[in-house]
Structure 1
């Protein structure tokens, strides 16, 4: 994320999750702490995977897991307590063993995101931790959450 991004509208994200800003995520200045944005993005990513049956958290699961190899955020406006939040998620790039995820964090009622985030997941075997090709469920999830091309 070396280039300066622009805030995106809600429609740029095909998947979303609503939540509330947690008191503990506010900093001494009264706004959402920078590091907390990544927590909201990470939760949305995993909920999207679970919702699309691309992540099995059961004890005997054998499907690959995603390891974060890169993440980051760019900020456009403050979010302050108390407020409801809306986290948008999308898949921006599909590799052989990886997915690049994009996120937008919105304050209640805002049409443009207050922050954009990116995570790169490399999918690995649970035991060996070696990269493996994306599975059918991961590819289906990526298709369902593909970033719109018209925004």
Structure 2
């Protein structure tokens, strides 16, 4: 971990979703526990997708695009979070395939200026009956295209 978090460029793609770090998210050293970063990112994604009408309500057969599984998670911790409070997760899509996607994320200050951790996650859409890859719906793909990071 570096002493200072890198400064992020102005947010020109993706979405910045507010999240809260609570006292009990900190470890014995007073740092945000490493396992909490992916949890907070997951909560931010859930909020974003629910805003588009995609949610899991307990029935995998009815879940549609919410029936998916993580294939890969990569995270790099850039600077420690040392206190509870308001933060944000910057979310975007790197790739939107037929049955999978790769999203990028930054765990950052509430205004998006400071990056504490960053990474990516690969998801695969599943058929609820077979648990085999299945295509995303066109409605999901349309919402996803709005989140694609511009090339370059």
TM-score with structure 1 setting the length: 0.83
Q: Could you tell me which residue of structure 1 aligns to residue 42 of structure 2? A: 42
Per the alignment, do residues 105 and 122 of structure 1 end up closer, same or farther by CA in structure 2, a change over 3 Å counting? same
Measure the CA separation in 2 of the matches of 1:91 and 1:54: 16
Deviations 1:77-132 (A, max 9, x none): 11112221111111111122001011111124551311112111100112221111
Measure the CA separation in 2 of the matches of 1:84 and 1:122: 31
Q: Could you tell me which residue of structure 1 aligns to residue 92 of structure 2? A: 90
Q: What value does the CA root-mean-square deviation take over the aligned residues?
A: 2.2
Count of residue pairs brought into register by the alignment: 145
- Kept in 1: contact 2:73–2:122 (CA 8 A): yes
Task: Give the SS at the match of 2:73.
Answer: strand
Q: Could you tell me which residue of structure 1 aligns to residue 114 of structure 2? A: 112
1:100 pairs, out of 94, 99, 102, with 102
Q: Could you tell me which residue of structure 2 aligns to residue 32 of structure 1? A: 32
Measure the CA separation in 2 of the matches of 1:90 and 1:148: 10
Measure the CA separation in 1 of the matches of 2:71 and 2:26: 27
Alignment pair present for 1:138 and 2:140: yes
Q: Extract unaligned runs of 5+ from structure 2.
A: 1-5
Per the alignment, do residues 80 and 135 of structure 1 end up closer, same or farther by CA in structure 2, a change over 3 Å counting? same
Task: Give the SS at the match of 1:44.
Answer: helix
Measure the CA separation in 1 of the matches of 2:52 and 2:63: 17
Extract structure 1 runs of 4+ deviating beyond 4 A: none
Q: Could you tell me which residue of structure 1 aligns to residue 3 of structure 2? A: none
Q: CA deviation at 1:7?
A: 6.7
TM-score with structure 2 setting the length: 0.83
- Kept in 2: contact 1:54–1:137 (CA 8 A): no
